[in-house]
Structure 1
Amino acid sequence: MNTRLLRAGLTIGLLSLVTGCALIPPEPVVEGPTTAIPPAPFPPQQPTGSIYQPTVYGSYPLFEDRRPRNVGDIVTVVLNERTNAAKNVATNTSRTGAASLGVGAAPGFMDSWANAKLDTDASGANTAAGKGDSTANNTFTGTLTTTVVGVLGNGNLQVAGEKQIAINRGSEYVRFSGVVDPRSISGANTVSSTQVADARIEYRSKGIMDEVQTMGWLQRFFLLASPF
């Protein structure tokens, strides 16, 4: 009885291990927070009768540049990523060789012995050919509004954002992070993703559509154990 329980426990443990390995999620591309940490609340201000109060959050001078520059400001990133790459490789090699050795003159009674012992003839050939083609064409367009999560010493902005969409039993999300030069931000508070340094874009999905593209755990197990 104990043996049966031990076998059943080992079987369940092995299946759980294999199932867990099959459900390992992909490594994330965007790391760190995707939104700014809320600032500490401002202390209450005493009314002074002035329209502009520099100590109150959101009170900007009339002629001040309205482009984002502080943590928590919003920047809209226009995703316009296009990558095209092609590579062709072709290799052809050929090599031939031949060698012969013979005795042209020998006494009559040694003719058969000389030809049998000394005449040699060898030849060889080696030919190899290889060809390879690789093509990649990717397009990613859209918009994503991010927040400033940090400000560098030179004034550049660290932005990050996330958008999640759930439809029926499936969900999709887009994550973005990078460094933006405030001078690249347009008057409409937008910046192209091609002008973002260290850009990291992640597009994932969860649900039935993602599950049908994932190999079953049993297939993954046999593929892992197969030597071919």
Structure 2
Amino acid sequence: MKKVATLTLLIAATACGRLEEVGRAPSFTPLEGNQEQHAMLVPGLPAEITPTRPADQASLWTGSRGSLLGDRRAMQRGDILTVVIEIDDSAEISNSTARNRSGSENLGINGLFGIPQRLDERLPAGASMADAINTTSTSASAGTGNVRRNEKLELRVAATIVDVLPNGVLSLQGSQEVRVNFELRELLVTGFVRPEDISRQNEITYDKIASARISYGGRGQITDVQQPRYGQQILDIVVPF
């Protein structure tokens, strides 16, 4: 009973949160306090400072990040880089199996020291030990499976370096929200990248992101219509048949 009450309260709380958006567009996720903003506000470890001459500070050809030919790729916490997502995957699997099996067994006792003939006298009318056992079995099975999948996604999103791991690997996180009328499209990406995999254009492709988590979805009136109701979702989980 307690579990039912807890589940009812949870459903009611979720529904109340969605009822706030009735008649108006869904609100954006606030930027204040998220992990990306925290990485930009809190400085990382101090970088190693190398002594420079006054002449080097005035030159356009130094190796510093602010120079004309400096490396401006994302390297430290709070830096921003572009994640290029170009997924074009397709898979098709087709399996077919068939099996046939048949068997036949006959067992008869025509003569065994005259015992079958004596037993025939005691058996009911029409019964005989000449064909004691006659068994025939046949089985057949067939199975067919077909899987076809096609996914294509082309997106670009700016992500922030939220942490630099002890081995130099960068932890990134990016989010993007676009609202069109009453539908909000959300794009989230997180993962780990190596600094050397970032291109000179300060871009990195999704296939070079370790533990990549990419989410592209939305929330709004159209998404609500496409999703089953809470009661139906609960019944799909609870009902065993």
- 3-state DSSP class of the match of 1:212? helix
Report if aligned partners of 1:82, 1:140 keep a CA contact under 8 Å in 2.
yes
Report if aligned partners of 2:65, 2:71 keep a CA contact under 8 Å in 1.
no
Higher relative contact order (CA 8 A, sep 6+): 1
1:1-228 alignment to 2 at 5 Å? 16-17=8-9, 19-20=11-12, 33-35=35-37, 36-39=39-42, 52=57, 60=66, 64-104=70-110, 116-118=127-129, 119=131, 120-220=133-233, 222-224=235-237, 226-228=239-241
Paired with 1:68 and 1:224, the residues of 2 have a C-alpha distance of: 45
Paired with 1:81 and 1:117, the residues of 2 have a C-alpha distance of: 75
The aligned residue for residue 23 of structure 2 is none
Report if aligned partners of 2:36, 2:161 keep a CA contact under 8 Å in 1.
no
Paired with 1:128 and 1:152, the residues of 2 have a C-alpha distance of: 56
Structure 1 residue 76, shift from structure 2 partner: 0.4
Identity, % of aligned positions: 26
State the number of aligned residues: 198
What is the RMSD computed on CA atoms of the aligned residues?
3.7
Paired with 2:99 and 2:105, the residues of 1 have a C-alpha distance of: 21
Report if aligned partners of 1:52, 1:61 keep a CA contact under 8 Å in 2.
no
Sort the Cα spacing of 1:102 and 1:155 in 2 relative to 1 into closer, same or farther, 3 A: closer
Amino acid at match of 2:181: N
Structure 1 residue 63, shift from structure 2 partner: 5.1
Report if aligned partners of 2:36, 2:78 keep a CA contact under 8 Å in 1.
no
Report if aligned partners of 1:175, 1:203 keep a CA contact under 8 Å in 2.
yes
- 3-state DSSP class of the match of 2:101? strand
Structure 1 residue 174, shift from structure 2 partner: 0.4
Paired with 1:124 and 1:221, the residues of 2 have a C-alpha distance of: 45
Paired with 2:229 and 2:135, the residues of 1 have a C-alpha distance of: 56
What is the TM-score with the length of structure 2 in the denominator? 0.66
Amino acid at match of 2:225: V
**Greater Cα offset, 142-151 or 92-101:** 92-101
Paired with 1:200 and 1:218, the residues of 2 have a C-alpha distance of: 29
Paired with 1:195 and 1:96, the residues of 2 have a C-alpha distance of: 55
Paired with 1:62 and 1:18, the residues of 2 have a C-alpha distance of: 57
What is the TM-score with the length of structure 1 in the denominator? 0.70
Structure 1 residue 159, shift from structure 2 partner: 1.2
